[in-house]
Each structure stands twice: as C-alpha cells, then as structure tokens.
Structure 1
Amino acid sequence: MSTRTLIDAPGPAAPSYAGVGALLVATLRRDRRRLLIWVLALGGVSVYSTVALGSVYPTAADRQARAAVVDTPAGILLSGPGYGIPDGYTLGAMIANELSLSITIAVAVMSIQLVVRHTRAEEESGRADLILAGAVARRAPLHTALLMAGLADLAVAVIVAAGLIGSGLTALDSVALATGCALTGLVFAGVAAVSAQLVGHARTAAGAAFAVLGAAASIRGVGDLVQDGGSALSWFSPIAWAQQTRAFVDLRWPPLLLSAVVAALLALVAVRLSGRRDVGAGLLPPRRGRAAASPLLSGVAPLLVRLQRGAIAGWVLALLLAGVVFGSLHDSATQMVAGNPRLAEAFTVEDGASLADSFAAATASYFGLLTAGFAVASVLRLRSEETAGRAELLLSAPLDRRRLLASVLAVTGGAAALLLAAAGLGSGLASAVVAGDVTSVGRGLGAALVHLPAVLVSTGFTALLLGLAPRLAGLAWALLVYAVLAGVFGPLLGLPDRALRLSPFGWVPAVPAEAVDVGSLAGLTLVAAVLGVLAAMGFRRRDIPA
C-alpha cells in the first residue's frame, strides 16, 4: 500500500462527544465566578422576597389587597395568570404569581448568555479554531455549552427550592416552581443554540434569542389577559408552561413535561444544524452591505450609535412599556399602599406628600436603576472591543484614546437620557389617562429625568474602572446591585440615610413628592465629570488591551 493511499484512507470517525469532558471542566473553571453570582443572586432574591413579602403582608386582608392590584390587566402582564386570587391570596400563591416570572426570565437570560458565549462567541473570536485543532469533536463545544446551561439551571433550581422550603413554603410546590424555572431556562438554551447555528455573529445570535424570549413573555401576558387562568394563546409560550403548574394553588406536573420535550428537540435541532455549516459561519448568509459607507459613519460617535442602535431601540421600547404599565397602576397601587400601614410608611417620602406622588417617585427610581444597568453594559462594551482586538484597529488610525472614551461616554449619556424620557413619558401619559390629569405627563417626565445625574455617576464609575483597572471593570455591577438593594428594599428595611447615600441614587430627590434639589443634582453631575476625566487619564496611559 502506497504512502498516498495511507494518507487518503479515512480513519475512524471521532465520537461526537470527544473532548466534552475536558471542555466542560475548562469552561466551568473559566466561568465559575459568573455562575456563582447568578446562582447566589437568584437564590438570594427568592429567599429574601419570600421573607419580605411575608412580613409586609402578614394578614389575609393585606394579601387580598395585594391581590386586587395583581388582578388587573397591568398586574397580570407583570406577574402571571392569577391563580389563587379569588380563593384567598396566600404567600405561596403570591410567590408563584409574582416572583416566578422574574426568576424564570432571569434563568432564561442566563442560559442564553452561556450558550452564545461558549458557541458563537468562541467561533467569532477564533478560539474555537484552536480548540477544534486538538482531539475535540466538531460538535463538542455545542454539547459543552448545553451541558453548562443545564448544570447552571439545575444549580439555580436547587438553591431556589431550598430557599423556598427553608422559608416555610410547601416542599413539593417549591420543587415544582423551581423545576419549572430551570426547564424554561433549558428551552431558551436550546433557542440560543439554534440561533447560534443560523447567524454568524454572537450579538446577532443573542439578539435573536432574546427576541424570542420577549415574544414568549408578550404572548404569555396577552394570553393570560384574554381569559382568567390563561387561554389557549398562553400555551404557545414556554414561560406559561412553568406558570401552568399552579404551584401552591393546584399543583400540576404535566406542563413541565412539555418544557422538557421542547428543550430536548431544540438541542437536537441545534446539533443537527451544527454539522451543516463551516466553523465561524452561519447557515443564513449575511446581508450584503453598501459599497460606500454613509457620511453619518465618518466619526467615532456615529459608529458607536450604529453599533448600539438595536440595543438602544430595545431598551427604549421596554422602558416605554414599563412606564405605561406602572402609570396604569396609579390608582389601584395607591389604594393598596394606603390600606397597608407598613407600605404607606415606606412609600411616604416626606410629611405632606401624597401617596400618589410618592408612588410616582418610587416607580421613577426603578426607571433610573434600569437605565443605569444599560449604561454600565454600554461602557463595558468598550472592554469587549479591546479583548476582541477591534479597539486596536480603531486606535491604529489617527484617533486619540481620550476621544474614543469620550465618545463612548457621550453616546451612553445621550442614550440614558432618551431611555429615561421614554419611561417618564409612558408613565405620565398612562397616569394622565387613568387619573384624568394632564399635568401627570410633566410630573412623570420630571420624576424620571431627575435620575440622569445618578446614572451618569454610575457611567463614570464604570469608565474609571475601565481606565485604571480594566480586569476589574465588572465590579461596576457591584455598585448597581447595591443601588438596587438600597433603593428597592432600603425603605422597607429602614436603612439609615448614610447607608442609602452610599449609592448615587440616594442623593436624587424623590420628585414629585419632594422639591428638586439643584445642589444634589449639580454635585452628582460634577462627580460624574471628575470620574470621566480620571477615566480618560487612565485609559490614555495603560496598554491596549490590558
């Protein structure tokens, strides 16, 4: 037999799972901190929410007042089909209706990010080529990503179930609720795996999966609005399958079987599709671009706007809808707060302020915190550009580093103002329709936009970490997490003012319940400017990437 024959002779095909074990160990080690934060955060939120809701609504009358708010169109959109409301709203039913949706969506987001990060993003960066050059099967990275998502979802389910059981809720219903959240996460892990095979870029793959998640949430909400307890339309949403278990009310297990079957089918489809494409390419051909770039792309800032236009548009729409929902709850939520002394004490900002104004100020603070989350993610995109090597290409042109960072901060600040304006406008318009008061529009806009200086401080703090210690830039999320805990739970826990003011949002006046404090807002703006200058100095002096 000739040498040529030996070379051309096909060798034994490597099994599709070759290298999965080694890859799984490596990815678990690489993402151990990220996974730990996700698991502990979701488990902690479930435990804390159970304890807090039990203390805020200790009596049946208090819980029934809460049920009156949930049993409204806006309440159903934000929670669930409303099982257990007419028969007596128990703490378990409250958790199943109101907390499970948030946990389920969070687990789905985690699963999407994990799968895209370890499939399409690895191919886009070129690391997948190095991995597949070894004794690793072609589909091993996809198998590893799905296993990672499954292990993460299982860990969240165990922590959430243990937390609910430890809080005094029924064990079997707690396990069912946690299992439903985990299986929904697996469904969207499969969605992300399929989208990663279809398109050639990580951002597009993640965006497509998140679009499916958004559509599922919308279908669930509309379906539950059509009929009490959910309609036939609700069953077209994987999110509804978890809620249809009716935990703590009338436990049913069959809907979870549907989630398991769909998750398995999506994973199988993704595996089949992965063998039909080249590494680094998607099955769908990319759209051909224009021969010449638009004049609007001649500068750094327009380029950044174009790169983030999808994210900005999505955030604007989400905050506009959130504002409409909160504004439509104006009357019913105010009545609920008035009927609960502890909530009334927590919502009342200062003596003489009406509960309506206090509620408007509280909802505006949520808009500010959400906008700060967008701002932190927007600035951290520059770090992603560094690690991917694209920032070096930009800076190899006659582009000053300070100008690049300033453009990032300017685009982020402008987008943050747009997001707050959309949320305030939606809240003001909805409140004006419900209350019949046109002045609610101006109050809603003012209550939201007054948080812009605090958002800019969060933006500047993120840029400072990026400029001085880029490897620690992710710690910017820690400031936001503290701001959320202090802003949302601080009044209920009775935290002192000095603890609240460790967050930039602790210095924002609660407009319209309070008068505008120009000094505090000016001080926050000055702090944001100083942080931006220091960040530019650090960014100019350090290596790219570092």
Structure 2
Amino acid sequence: MSTLTGARHLARLMLRRDRLLLPLWVLVLAVLPVSYAKSFIELFATPAERAAYAAGTGRNPSIVALLGPLYGESVGALTAQRGGFLLTLIALASLLTVIRHTRTEEEAGRRELLGGSVLGRYAGLTAALAVTYAADLLLGLLTAAGLIATGLPTAGSLSYGLGAALTGIVFATVGGLAAQLTETAGGARGIAVAVLGAAFGLRLAGDTTERDWLSWLSPLGWAPRVRAYEGDRWWVLVLPVLFSVLLAAVAYPLSVRRDLGAGLLPPRLGPAAGGSALAGPFGLAWRLHRGQLLWWSVGFGLLGLILGGAAQAAGRSVEGNPQLEEIMARIGGAQGMADAYLGTSLGLAGWAAAGFGIQAALRMRAEETGGRAEPLLATGVHRSRWLRSHLAFALLGPAVVLAVTGFAIGLTYGVSVHDVSGQLPRMVGAGLAQLPAAWVLAGLAVLLYGLLPRLAPSAWAVLAVCVLLGQLGAVLKLSQWLLDVSPFTHTPQVLGAHWHPTPLWLLTAAALLFAATGLTAFTRRDIPTT
C-alpha cells in the first residue's frame, strides 16, 4: 500500500463537505481586488489625482502599517497596496481550512474511523493540503483574470494573483504543521494564528521603519515585494515556494511519528478539582470562551489604533481631485471624508464581530458533537440554562469587540485632531451601532443549531454573502432588494448628520427572535443529533 493511498478519495470528501464554504471565501477574496481597481479607475482618473492620493494617503504610516508599502502611482500599484490586507485574510482562511480537515477530524474521532480502512500514512495531510493549495491557486487565477479584465497589465495582474496564492499556500502549510503539534483543534488554531500574528507584526515593523529587512523575514512581506505593476520581481515568489517545501518537509515526518489523536506537545493538565468558577454552566462557558474573547479584543484594539491614526490622512486624500472635493464638500469636506472612512472601517469591524458571535454560537455544536454536552445535560443542568450560558457570549462578545475597536479608533483619531473627549464616545457609539446586525447573524447561528444542527455551520456562508454584498453590491449595481438581504445594509451611518434608530431596534428584535426560536427548538430535540 502506498503512503498516499486514499488521498484522492479524501480530497473528494473534503470538497464535498466544503462545497459551500470553500467557493464562497475563494470568490469573495478573489473579487475584492477587482472592485478596488474599478474604484481607483473611477475616482482617480488622471495621473495627477493618483499622485495626490499616493502622497497624501498611500504613503501614510498608518495606511502602510495596515495595507503594506506603495511602490508606484499607477492604478495597478494602488490596487496592489489596497489589497495588501487581503493577504492576511487569505492566510487565515487557508490555515483554518487545513486545520479543520486534519486536527479537527482527529479530535472528533472521524479520522480514526477512516484510518481503519485502506488509507496511507500521508493521505490525510496530503488531501487537506492539496484541496487548500488548489483553492489558493484558483483564487490567484480568478484575481488575475479579473484585474486583467479591468484593463490592468497582464504581467502585473499575474504576479499579484500568484503572490496572493502563494501566501495562502505558505499558511496552509503552517496550519498543517500546527495540526501535528497539539491534540486539540483549538490549540492548533492558536499556534497557527500566533504565527500569522507574528508575521503581520514583522511586516508592519519593517514597512513602517527603516528596517526593511524585517519585512523580508515575514511571509506576509514577500508578496508585496514582488512589486506587481511596478517591475514585477518574479524571483521573490521563490521564497514562499521554498518556505512551504521546508514546512511540509517537517510536517510530514511528524504526522507519522505521533499517535493518532495526540500531538507532539504534551497537553497541559488542569487541576484535579474544579474551582468555584466552574460551579455552573456559565462558569464553564466563560472558561471555554475567555481566550478567544481576549485575543479578539486585543487584535481589534490594535487594529483600531491603526485605523484611527489613518483617518486624518483619509480626510486629506481628496486634495487635488476636483470630483471628490465636490462630493466631499456636500458631506462636510475633510471631516466628512474622515467620517466616511471611519464608518467604513467600523462596518468591517461589524462583520468581524458577527464572526465572533457565530463562532461562539457554534461552540455549542462542537460541545455536542464532541460528546461533552450530553454528560453535562444528564445532570441537573437544564438545557435552556446551558444554551443561555453560551448565548451570552455570542451576544456580549461582539459588543466587547466593537466597543474596544471604537475606543481604540476614537483614542488615536481624537489625539490626531486634538479632541479625545469628543471623539472617544462618538466612535464607541458608532462601533456599537454595528452590534444589532452582528447579533442577527449570531442569532441565526443559534436558530440553525436549535432546528437543524447539521446546517449550523452554514451561518459562516451567510456571513460571506453579507461581506460579498457589502463589498461588491454597489460595484456590480445589484438590485436594492438583494442588498437588503444583508442586515448590515440596514445599519444607519451614525457618524452622519442625521440618522434614525428604528433599524437598530428592528435588527435587535430579529436577532432575539432567532435566538429564542433556536432555544425553544433545542429544548425539544434529541441529543446527540445524528
């Protein structure tokens, strides 16, 4: 029997299981650069306007910290920089996909069942990497094709698309290696995301200081240094290829030298007896969710500091562009532009907060399928009480993330405009205005878990559709009724002059209705659900 026996069949199984989620994240991340290119073509039609934008915004330290360096003033160069943060999202999606099909399968016991059949030693890891590599390459090709279709140079489009694809491949391999180190999927995700965070930090430090060599140490810094549309240094793409080969050369031997279901790092044993904090279901839920809540808050707090620091530069980006100056004059000039930028940034934070709510809600499904919910509910703990303990974090967690993001943005933006006392509560309020829409998706996840638990992960697909509509709805000129499918379409722009709270109340009512229906359905169905 070959060491790769069964890899093809496993890959087909993975594609079937991800037939909704995989195409969605590939499509969303592939079309976003195309929308950026079209926006630059429409808003900055002349070289002088693009030069003014590049001087005022593109090279602002906060923008560079978030997106990466700008190497030129062409539409292609501006698009490549604007899509810089997408590299981080591609890396995150790739590593999570690999871990879900490797370590998560082992933790759930499904990998052991498959291992009892005719399955090679390397089949599981190979199938997971092959599926994710293929998705990343498809993403890169779609991105390049879309950029070429907008009129950008072919060579630059291909180098940008290939750089994005190889970034995903690097972190897919990081996920494959992390899956060998711990015995839990959560631990593997923690290691892989920590590596991603370190890579982002190195890239940020190198791009915003004179120590450019730090960016060369980061896998997130290689794709920008291809300099798509501004020289196309193809040789840089050799670095992610070699690094991926090196990581795979370590991951494959480790995958067969450990016991199935175990990791190379020994698990950290807890105390022999639980403390008073674990006396009830809420205490247990706090123990399960606190780590994610902490790291999400820290991450978005740091992101908020960067976004707030870049807001003043965004307000000046209209200088030298008569078309934008006329538009911005109607909404308050540079202040209106800064508010529009901050409103958009907080909208992105709202999507992320919805992701936290979905993740917290789906933790209940993980507890059930992992066999940990049934023994707990066999005691005196009522089903509704157990679900409400997790629901509290699905609803309060997004509130914390958005409040921290708004606080960080208000702090740095307030310092830049010398109005901390005025901007701080304003930005916190604007951040919390995104909360009802995030609650709708969290409530939908609870509803699916209660009624159709097998379809509960589809809540991620709904979030992907909302992101797609929000980013591309206007560009594609979609019908308003289709845009209204997303709850974020109904979130008012509270940083504007006039807004009405009615949509917020309606969204909150819808979220509570979803959650209450899911709770009722959960108390009436069997556990575990087959």
2:27 is aligned to 40
1:422 & 1:144 partners in 2: Cα distance? Answer: 39
Change (3 A) 1:455 1:111: closer
Q: Which residue of 63, 73, 85 corresponds with 1:75?
A: 63
1:3 is aligned to none
Q: Which residue of 169, 190, 209 corresponds with 1:186?
A: 169
Counterpart code for 2:521: G
2:137 & 2:195 partners in 1: Cα distance? Answer: 22
Decide whether the 8 Å contact of 2:7 with 2:127 is kept in 1.
yes
2:203 is aligned to 220
1:524 & 1:446 partners in 2: Cα distance? Answer: 16
1:10 is aligned to none
Q: Which residue of 146, 162, 167 corresponds with 2:145?
A: 162
Change (3 A) 1:389 1:59: farther
1:27 is aligned to 14
Q: CA deviation at 1:55?
A: 2.0
Aligned ranges 1:13-412 → 2 under 5 Å: 14-67=1-54, 68-84=56-72, 89-99=73-83, 101-227=84-210, 231-337=212-318, 340=321, 354-412=336-394
Q: CA deviation at 1:62?
A: 3.0
Identity over aligned residues, as a percent? 40
Decide whether the 8 Å contact of 1:453 with 1:521 is kept in 2.
yes
Q: Which stretch of structure 1 is more off in the superposition, 333-342 or 22-31?
A: 333-342
Counterpart code for 2:79: I
Decide whether the 8 Å contact of 1:349 with 1:510 is kept in 2.
no
Counterpart code for 1:52: S
Change (3 A) 1:35 1:484: closer
Counterpart code for 2:20: R
Aligned ranges 1:427-466 → 2 under 5 Å: 427-438=409-420, 439-466=422-449
2:526 is aligned to 543
Where 1:275 maps in the other structure, the secondary structure is helix
Change (3 A) 1:61 1:389: farther
Provide Cα deviations, 1:247-280, integer angstroms capped at 9, x if missing partner.
1001111211111111001101011112321111
Q: CA deviation at 1:321?
A: 1.5
Q: Which stretch of structure 1 is more off in the superposition, 233-242 or 113-122?
A: 113-122
Where 1:541 maps in the other structure, the secondary structure is coil
Decide whether the 8 Å contact of 2:331 with 2:337 is kept in 1.
no
Provide Cα deviations, 1:212-257, integer angstroms capped at 9, x if missing partner.
0111011111101113xx7111111011111111110011112111
Q: CA deviation at 1:202?
A: 1.0
RMSD, aligned α-carbons: 2.6
Decide whether the 8 Å contact of 2:315 with 2:336 is kept in 1.
no
Q: CA deviation at 1:21?
A: 2.8
Q: CA deviation at 1:31?
A: 2.7
Q: CA deviation at 1:506?
A: 3.6
> TM-score w.r.t. structure 1 length?
0.89
**Count of aligned positions:** 526
1:432 & 1:26 partners in 2: Cα distance? Answer: 52
Provide Cα deviations, 1:63-111, integer angstroms capped at 9, x if missing partner.
2233121201111112122111xxxx11110122121x23322322232
Decide whether the 8 Å contact of 2:48 with 2:320 is kept in 1.
no
Change (3 A) 1:198 1:183: same
Provide Cα deviations, 1:281-317, integer angstroms capped at 9, x if missing partner.
1111111211211211122222122212221112111
Decide whether the 8 Å contact of 2:434 with 2:491 is kept in 1.
yes
Provide Cα deviations, 1:106-159, integer angstroms capped at 9, x if missing partner.
322232122212221121111222222222222221222222222222222222
Change (3 A) 1:359 1:33: closer
Provide Cα deviations, 1:299-350, integer angstroms capped at 9, x if missing partner.
2222122212221112111211222112112221112246656657887997
Change (3 A) 1:95 1:305: same
Change (3 A) 1:444 1:470: same
Decide whether the 8 Å contact of 2:362 with 2:445 is kept in 1.
yes
1:340 & 1:300 partners in 2: Cα distance? Answer: 58
Decide whether the 8 Å contact of 2:170 with 2:219 is kept in 1.
yes
Decide whether the 8 Å contact of 1:361 with 1:510 is kept in 2.
yes
Decide whether the 8 Å contact of 2:32 with 2:471 is kept in 1.
no
1:313 & 1:172 partners in 2: Cα distance? Answer: 43
Change (3 A) 1:59 1:543: farther
2:329 & 2:468 partners in 1: Cα distance? Answer: 18
Change (3 A) 1:428 1:471: same
Counterpart code for 1:212: V
Counterpart code for 1:466: Y
Q: CA deviation at 1:471?
A: 3.1
2:483 & 2:23 partners in 1: Cα distance? Answer: 26
Aligned ranges 1:503-518 → 2 under 5 Å: 503-514=486-497, 517-518=500-501
Where 2:257 maps in the other structure, the secondary structure is coil
Decide whether the 8 Å contact of 1:344 with 1:355 is kept in 2.
no
1:368 & 1:341 partners in 2: Cα distance? Answer: 32
Higher CA-based Rg: 1
Q: CA deviation at 1:415?
A: 1.4
Where 1:137 maps in the other structure, the secondary structure is coil
Change (3 A) 1:504 1:348: farther
1:21 & 1:408 partners in 2: Cα distance? Answer: 38
1:15 & 1:472 partners in 2: Cα distance? Answer: 36
Decide whether the 8 Å contact of 1:346 with 1:491 is kept in 2.
no
Counterpart code for 1:142: L
1:193 & 1:477 partners in 2: Cα distance? Answer: 22
Change (3 A) 1:174 1:276: same
1:4 is aligned to none
1:383 & 1:349 partners in 2: Cα distance? Answer: 49
Q: Which stretch of structure 1 is more off in the superposition, 279-288 or 334-343?
A: 334-343
1:420 is aligned to 402
Change (3 A) 1:528 1:151: closer
2:168 & 2:10 partners in 1: Cα distance? Answer: 21
Q: CA deviation at 1:207?
A: 1.4
Change (3 A) 1:340 1:393: farther
Which structure has more RCO (C-alpha within 8 Å, separation ≥ 6)? 2
2:234 & 2:223 partners in 1: Cα distance? Answer: 9
Q: Which stretch of structure 1 is more off in the superposition, 215-224 or 51-60?
A: 51-60
Q: Which stretch of structure 1 is more off in the superposition, 458-467 or 502-511?
A: 502-511
